[in-house]
């Protein structure tokens, strides 16, 4: 019987590529989304993947949403924590709301999503948790103290939870994408985008499908001995020591 995978922020960008990639790998996939109903319904119609709407930055909403997913699709074996937001500003101009929203959604969601699922994974002696961090959580980025802090926090969360769950057959890993050819990145002014690409030794943006393939690998039996790892996928733009 096919294992069930849930991808948060799974109807657009990198998340959509991961959802499709996991479906193509043979998993039963559910995709969470936060607000764009039109995009979610279009994704559902094109892929046949069921979609579920809730705010991953709200603990009660996550608990309720996960019950809906498990009722409709089955117990979640594979969780991809992909959902996130950016609210960029230099720190001396950043508002408390900008800080709180990014930390709540990008980092708080790690706990809000994993906590309701972890007991079931432990009971079944199997689980795959894949957390999407960022190159900017590794190296920092001007104007993104909130985002960089949240994405760095994801790496620490991943390492700690991996140690807690290893004996229960649950792996927990992080992926740190660099600049990927999503709609958001492609909407950057051409001259700015050229400047970004110039800092990437491979001379191109990454592909969402490349992140999806890494997620599918980490979800597979081939990756059963990999846990607590940070997978850097950025074309050598940043190489962690």
- Based on the residue annotation, tell me whether 33 is a catalytic residue of this protein: no
Alpha-carbon 106 to chain mean position: 9
Type and span of the H or E element at 4 = strand 4-7
Residue 148: what are its φ and ψ, rounded to 5°? Answer: -65, -40
CA–CA dist 161, 148 (Å, integer): 20
233 touches 206 (CB < 8 A):
yes
Cβ atoms 58, 112 nearer than 8 A = yes
Identify the active-site residue in 27, 33, 112, 147.
147
Distance between CA atoms of residues 173 and 138, nearest Å: 15
- Cα(113)–Cα(155) distance, rounded to whole angstroms? 16
* Residues noted as catalytic: 147
């Amino acid at each position: 019987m096919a294992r069930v995978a849930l991808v948060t922020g799974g109807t657009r960008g990198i998340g959509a590529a991961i959802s499709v990639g996991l479906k193509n790998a043979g998993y039963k996939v559910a995709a969470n989304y936060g607000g764009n109903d039109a995009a979610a319904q279009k994704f559902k119609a094109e892929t046949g993947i069921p979609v579920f709407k809730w705010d991953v930055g709200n603990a009660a909403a996550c608990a309720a949403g996960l019950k809906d997913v498990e009722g409709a699709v089955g117990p979640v074996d594979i969780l991809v924590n992909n959902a996130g937001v950016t609210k960029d500003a230099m720190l001396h101009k950043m508002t408390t709301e900008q800080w709180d929203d990014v930390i709540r959604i990008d980092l708080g969601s790690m706990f809000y999503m994993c906590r309701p699922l972890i007991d079931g994974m432990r009971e079944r002696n199997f689980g795959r948790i894949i957390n999407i961090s960022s190159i900017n959580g590794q190296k920092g980025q001007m104007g993104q103290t909130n985002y960089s802090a949240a994405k760095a926090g994801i790496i620490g969360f991943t390492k700690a939870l991996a140690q807690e769950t290893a004996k229960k057959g649950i792996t927990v890993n992080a992926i740190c994408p660099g600049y990927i050819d999503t709609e958001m990145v492609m909407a950057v002014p051409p001259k700015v985008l050229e400047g970004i690409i110039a800092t990437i030794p491979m001379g191109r943006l990454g592909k969402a499908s490349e992140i999806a393939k890494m997620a599918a690998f980490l979800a597979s039996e081939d990756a059963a001995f990999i846990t607590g790892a940070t997978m850097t996928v950025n074309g050598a733009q940043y190489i962690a020591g």
